[in-house]
Structure 1
Amino acid sequence: MQVAVCAQEGSPDAAVDPRFGRCQCLVLVNRENNYWESIANPGINSSGGAGIQTAQTLVDRRVEAVLVGRIGPKAMAVFQRAGIKVFGGITGTVRESIDLYHRGKLPLLDGANSIAHAGMGGGFKKA
């Protein structure tokens, strides 16, 4: 099972990036074979549609779960259509987030937890 984590740098010990579409990079982790890799986020410098572009990259990479701090409605819709589970509210490091995920301690999101364009300074979704 391959899990993607939004990160500020490309390593398991990197701090997570709370943004999805404009996170610095994505760390892909496969705990079954103790393999990880970092990929550049293709949406980071996009003038628009960063979340959609980032989400589609992870769909193409066949991830089964995504760990995010915040995610907007358009990116979330891409994952919902693809049947990919999204877990939200991560903090700490990539390694800590993966551990919490495997212990079942991260909340599964049933929708976006951020407003559109929040990664560009828009803010959080109102409760």
Structure 2
Amino acid sequence: MKIAFTAKGTTMDARMDARFGRTEYFLFYDETTKELEVFDNRAIESEAHGAGPKTAQKLSEFKADVLITGNGPGGNANAVLKSMGIAVYIGAGEMTVQQAYDAYKRDALRKA
């Protein structure tokens, strides 16, 4: 399973980014291989509209199964994620990526 995290940095010790569409980075953790992949999403800041759906498409390109974030995606982005079968978990905005992963494994995050 591949899990995507919205993050403010590029390691498991980075703080989570509560935003989805304009998150600074996505960290993709592959539970099978234990590999961490990073996508720099900062270029989305220049987008006037549609950041959420465009960002949701990135998750599909990286073949994410789960998204863990803070506040959750907006309506349009959420519809895109749902259509792709990506499960969304929210409530990790004040954590590090590692803490968010641990909370997910303990079933302590809310499913959106």
Q: Same fold (TM over 0.5)?
A: yes
Give the structure 2 partner of residue 114 of structure 1: none
Q: Which has the higher contact order (CA 8 A, sep 6+)?
A: 2
**Counterpart AA for 1:87:** Y
**In structure 1, what is the Cα distance between the partners aligned to 2:48 and 2:16?**
23
Greater than 3 Å deviation, 4+ residue runs: none
- What's the C-alpha RMSD, in Å, of the aligned pairs? 1.1
Match of 2:60 in 1: 59
Name 1:12's counterpart in structure 2. Answer: 12
- State whether residues 22 and 45 of structure 1, in contact with CA within 8 Å, keep that contact through their aligned partners in structure 2: no
Higher helix share: 2
TM-score, normalised via structure 2 length: 0.91
Any residues of structure 2 matched to 1:93-112 within 5 Å, and which? Answer: 93-109=96-112
Counterpart residue identity of residue 65, structure 1 = V
Unaligned residue ranges in structure 1 (runs of 5+): 110-127
Please state how far the C-alpha of 1:34 moved relative to its aligned partner.
1.4
**Structure 2: gaps spanning 5 or more residues:** none
| Higher Cα Rg, which structure | 1
TM-score (structure 1 length as normaliser): 0.81
Question: Shift of residue 54 of structure 1?
Answer: 0.6
Partner of 2:90: 88
The structural deviation recorded for 1:31 is 2.3
